[in-house]
Amino acid sequence: MHHERWDHIVMVPGIFKEFATEINAEIAKNVSKSLLERNREFAKKMKARNRPIDEIVEDTGLTKEEVEAL
């Protein structure tokens, strides 16, 4: 099936690179968000086990304020 608007032959050169940049940026944002959520869960567990705040900060990369707020 040919669709003039989306056919690879008629697309503007470089458009795939533009889309790839947008997609990669979105993936990076989602990965960062997932890692932050994972680190928060890890910090909650460490805090529940009465680990020192400074150790939690060092191990998770969260700030002292973020850890204390958990």
* Domain ranges, ordered by start, for the chain: 18-69
What is the per-residue pLDDT for 50?
A: 94
- Which phi-psi region, left, alpha or beta, contains residue 61 (left: φ > 0; alpha: ψ -120 to 50)? left
pLDDT tens-digit series, residues 1-57: 455 555 555 555 666 677 778 888 888 888 888 888 999 999 999 999 999 999 999
As a whole number of angstroms, the distance between CA 70 and CA 27 comes to 27
Cβ contacts of residue 13 below 8 Å, gap of 6+? none
pLDDT tens-digit series, residues 37-53: 999 999 999 999 999 99
Q: What is the pTM of this model?
A: 0.59
